[in-house]
Amino acid sequence: MAASWLKDAIFYEIYPQSFYDTNGDGIGDFNGIIEKLDYVKSLGCNAIWLNPCFDSPFKDAGYDVRDYKKVAPRYGTNSDLYRLFGEAHRRGMRVILDLVPGHTSEEHPWFQASKKAEKNEYSDRYIWSNFCFEGCGGLNYVAGESERDGVYVLNFFKCQPALNYGFLHPDKPWQRAADSPAALATREAMKDVMRFWLDHGCDGFRVDMADSLVKFDDEQKTGTSAIWHDVRAMLDAEYPEAVLVAEWSHTALAIRAGFDAAFCLNDPWTGYPTLMRDYDRKHPEKPDNSYFRADGDGDIRRFLEPYLREYEATKDLGFISLITCNHDTVRPSWNLSDRELRLAYAFLFTMPGVPFLYYGDEIGMRYQDLPTHEGGYFRTGSRTPMQWDNTLNLGFSAGCADSLYLPVDSKRGAPTVAAQEKKPDSLLHFTRELLALRGEQADLRDNANLEIVHAEKGDAFVYRRGGLLIAVNPSAHEASAPADISGKSVLYAIGSGEAADAGIVLQPQSFVIFQ
């Protein structure tokens, strides 16, 4: 049962390293986020997803947690984070943290104990084989780094050993069942982490690699889903307003497993291809057919087909979350012009589900070509400091330039909040108006119905949200669609559209909501 606040939620994702630095050390902090809460609220966002902010060696930007219950000192103290929860709540906003249940840092005390040759409480907290010269049946592993005889399984990078939630069908002496005492102990330890933060005022979790828990799970993720059902039951009983948002490659499975929402990530490494980034990094010679490009092939069906399948399967159970981008993808302004971005955002924020705006996308922050930092690799370029104004370090930090977490966008024309506040036609004001519209119109809310009216390659794409009829034409040419708009008036428009013999005609690069 989804938390009651979720149906109106619009999230803002904050990468804490890069949002706002108040102590001049070059890294963003909790006090900085508190100072900017009114700004986030002014955008129309009423909830925040904070990327991992826990104690960590930062070999994967904090997704390598060393202590689940202690924040990283570079962001402040636990008390600062509790204050952030309180300040957000005072403004009617919510904050969800990033829970990383599948793995820890190799420096986590559980893993340090688990590596030891003598048997101890944590020996089975991770997945180990019994013999150093034995592989793990296809799972990635590390051998030769422990006094313990055996190899350990990895969940992602080398620094991230997999926690042991058991195997669906254990068939080796070292594989534990998902209901074995060791696997249950891991699950209970993660529930304990969740209770800790919920008791201190957090409103739920974005769950990292939520589908990765039980090993050699089946296609339906039966083993992993059973764990989330159990977690959901705990939340329903103890924290009924807490939300769970999944990073899980299959949205419908995540929602059926008890998640309130799940990200639509056709391909988490490049953004979802067909809409905003139909670009293949392995084949840069291929044309970019992102639906929202004026020169794309105008085929919304590549996105719609899988989306609708998942939407129909889950619309009464939970929400699909569309994102402008996230800390793992290239920013949308990389391949979309200002006008194309507006059309893409207009679509994203008029679709059902719980939407997420990544910090800086509201001003069109640019993807930077940068060397890797904290395990970012190509993702580093989307993690640069927020651009507030044209003062030192674009207002992000009073520290010296080489102390910054990442360099700020130093090229000409770097967008800033201050400059765009002054321009009534800026992307910032555009985004704010769009989110306000979503907030005002009950038919645009997260749980209002979606119906596709017309979706053919090259035609205007038309869909209905409750009583509103919405038409989109991202192409450089006029486009039409058979849709009856007689008796309707324009509620909102980018460009224009009007009735014609065939139904509706939209001017190039237009988006119109009729009521």
Query: Does residue 292 bind ligand NOJ (CB under 6 A)?
Result: no
Query: Does residue 211 bind ligand NOJ (CB under 6 A)?
Result: no
C-alpha 442/C-alpha 8 separation (Å) is 9
Query: Does residue 208 bind ligand NOJ (CB under 6 A)?
Result: yes
C-alpha 282/C-alpha 206 separation (Å) is 30
Each residue 53-72 as x (binds ligand NOJ by CB under 6 A) or -, in order, gives -------x--x---------
Sign of the CA dihedral 160, 165, 171, 172? positive
Judged by CB under 6 A, the residue of 37, 209, 455, 485 near ligand NOJ is 209
**Measured from the CB of residue 101, what is the shortest distance to ligand NOJ in angstroms?**
10
Query: Does residue 106 bind ligand NOJ (CB under 6 A)?
Result: no
Query: Does residue 492 bind ligand NOJ (CB under 6 A)?
Result: no
Active-site residue, selected from the candidate residues 13, 98, 208, 340? 208
CA-to-CA separations, 227 to 19, 187, 479, in angstroms, rounded: 34, 8, 48
Query: Does residue 13 bind ligand NOJ (CB under 6 A)?
Result: no
**Measured from the CB of residue 445, what is the shortest distance to ligand NOJ in angstroms?**
27
C-alpha 440/C-alpha 54 separation (Å) is 36
Query: Does residue 361 bind ligand NOJ (CB under 6 A)?
Result: no
| Tokens standing for residue 475 | 């192409």
**Measured from the CB of residue 268, what is the shortest distance to ligand NOJ in angstroms?**
7
Element housing 188 (H / E): helix 181-199
Binding to ligand NOJ, residues 410-449 (CB under 6 A): none
- Between 39 and 157, whose beta carbon lies closer to ligand NOJ? 157
**Measured from the CB of residue 243, what is the shortest distance to ligand NOJ in angstroms?**
18
C-alpha 222/C-alpha 218 separation (Å) is 6
CA-to-CA separations, 424 to 143, 175, 188, 418, 429, in angstroms, rounded: 59, 61, 52, 12, 6
**Measured from the CB of residue 146, what is the shortest distance to ligand NOJ in angstroms?**
22
Residue with structure tokens 């994702």?
A: 13
Tell which residue, 140, 110, 135, has the closest CA to residue 123. Answer: 110
CA atoms lying within 13 Å on the CB side of residue 44: 20
- Between 124 and 328, whose beta carbon lies closer to ligand NOJ? 328
Active-site residue, selected from the candidate residues 55, 211, 247, 260? 247
C-alpha 237/C-alpha 61 separation (Å) is 33
Each residue 212-251 as x (binds ligand NOJ by CB under 6 A) or -, in order, gives -----------------------------------x----
Strands (E), 323-393: 356-358
Catalytic residue status for 208: yes
**Measured from the CB of residue 66, what is the shortest distance to ligand NOJ in angstroms?**
14
DSSP secondary structure string for all residues of 110-179: HHHHHTSSS--TTTTSB-B-SSTT---TTS-EE-SSSSSSS-EEBSSSTT-BBB---BSS--STTPPBTT
Question: Distance between terminal CA atoms of the chain?
Answer: 31
Each residue 144-183 as x (binds ligand NOJ by CB under 6 A) or -, in order, gives ------------x---------------------------
Query: Does residue 328 bind ligand NOJ (CB under 6 A)?
Result: yes
Binding to ligand NOJ, residues 445-474 (CB under 6 A): none
Residues near ligand NOJ (CB under 6 A): 60, 63, 100, 156, 208-209, 247, 327-328
Among all residues, which ones are annotated catalytic? 208, 247
